[in-house]
Amino acid sequence: LHTARSRNDQVALDIRMYLRDECDAVIGLLRRFAGVLCDQAEGHLETVMPGYTHLQRAQPITFAHHLMAYGQMLLRDIGRIRDAKARMNVLPLGSGALAGTTYPLDRPLVAELLGFDGISANSLDGVSDRDFCVELASALSLVMVHLSRFSEEIVMWCSWEFKFIELDDAFATGSSIMPQKKNPDITELVRGKSGRVFGDLMGLLTMLKGLPLAYNKDMQEDKEAIFDAVDTVKLCISTMIPMIETMKVRPERMRAAAAEGFINATDCADYLVKQGMPFRDAYKITGGLVAYCIDNHKTLETLTLDEYRAASPVFGPDVYDAINLETCVKGRKVPGGPAPEAVAACIAQTRAALAAL
């Protein structure tokens, strides 16, 4: 049974076979998570909320549009893990300890029987390659970046300052002394575990960086790092799926936040541009109106037409429709934009991509 085999090429084989299956498991979880985001997004195609840059209210979007941004991230994650799996699916068995064997092996037949796409072309590389561990750990690290960013937003959205959503009690905990508290602990744990997976990646890179060919005992450190990265990512995704499925969305809070912060100022400037004014001038006039509103405790919606015309005679009664938040969102129907029809198309494309995997 041990003819033409070495522990070196057997271990290289086994870790590839194990990680190949784990890639499928992670992809399956990512597909489920992306599907949940699509489900939630379909229910909030017209739920207006502020879009942010620099964590400052910027322009109106919809909650569906925001969720589908993460949907796109998950699709890329799936693609990266599939690519990593394809490159690891090469049979190292037959490389022996490092120099192959004198026995007449049929390596392509073994590759076919074990479900590999091909055989390693160099026996030294066959036993010492752990690029696939690093590549998978890198892809998993990006998954954790995305989960951590989403977790950070959920933490903010649950706070009283936002209160855009409320998590089910199963995914939050109370305080030991403050009875009013409902802490989003799950998202904080996911956010924290991202550093653990990043550490696994750095451990793999550091372990490999100074190794001469071929096999060295240092390489047994690959197992703990890549196994931990896989297990951590699977745990985090499988926890976030039901959390997002059961969260309560509060559209009225999102709409109220969107009504503050002058996030329709760009649309006000665009209104002037559509009347033939250069954008530079429209920008300056709109900035003046915002400053006037701040000084007089008003919003663009509550300015009178006389106040608008004092800034520019170009303004007409239709300015109020132009700066209406729902109008602002629905007007952005360019592919990839936040208009309900554009987001519905994005959801359909995402579902089609998931079904094709």
Q: What is the CATH number of the domain that holds 170?
A: 1.20.200.10
Task: Give yes or no for residue 174 having a pLDDT over 90.
Answer: no
Name the domain boundary from 209, 226, 257.
257
Note whether residue 341 is domain-resident: no
- CB-CB contact of 66 with 49 (8 Å): yes
Note whether residue 353 is domain-resident: no
57, β-bridge pairs? 52
Is 312 designated active site? no
Task: Give yes or no for residue 240 having a pLDDT over 90.
Answer: yes
What pLDDT is stored for residue 308 in this prediction?
A: 95
Confidence of residue 3 (pLDDT cuts 50, 70, 90): confident
Same domain flag for 231 and 275: no
Name the domain boundary from 212, 230, 257.
257
Task: Give yes or no for residue 1 having a pLDDT over 90.
Answer: no
Same domain flag for 283 and 141: no
Which one is catalytic: 44, 120, 141, 175? 175
CATH number at residue 316: 1.10.40.30
Is 175 designated active site? yes
Per-residue pLDDT averaged across 214-219, rounded? 93
Distance (Å, rounded) from C-alpha 34 to C-alpha 335?
Answer: 20
Same domain flag for 103 and 206: yes
Same domain flag for 11 and 139: yes
Confidence of residue 172 (pLDDT cuts 50, 70, 90): confident
Note whether residue 141 is domain-resident: yes
pTM for this model (two decimals) = 0.92
Name the domain boundary from 257, 277, 293.
257
Structure tokens at 296: 């007089």
- Residue 201's domain spans which residues? 7-257
In angstroms and rounded to an integer, the radius of gyration of the C-alpha atoms of the chain is 27
What pLDDT is stored for residue 104 in this prediction?
A: 93
Which one is catalytic: 2, 44, 54, 176? 54
Q: Which of 133, 132, 22, 139 is nearest to 88 (CA)?
A: 132
What pLDDT is stored for residue 89 in this prediction?
A: 98
Same domain flag for 161 and 294: no
Q: Which of 301, 210, 217, 213 is nearest to 255 (CA)?
A: 301
Note whether residue 344 is domain-resident: no
What pLDDT is stored for residue 181 in this prediction?
A: 76
Q: Which of 17, 93, 26, 47 is nearest to 234 (CA)?
A: 26
In the chain, the number of structural domains is 2
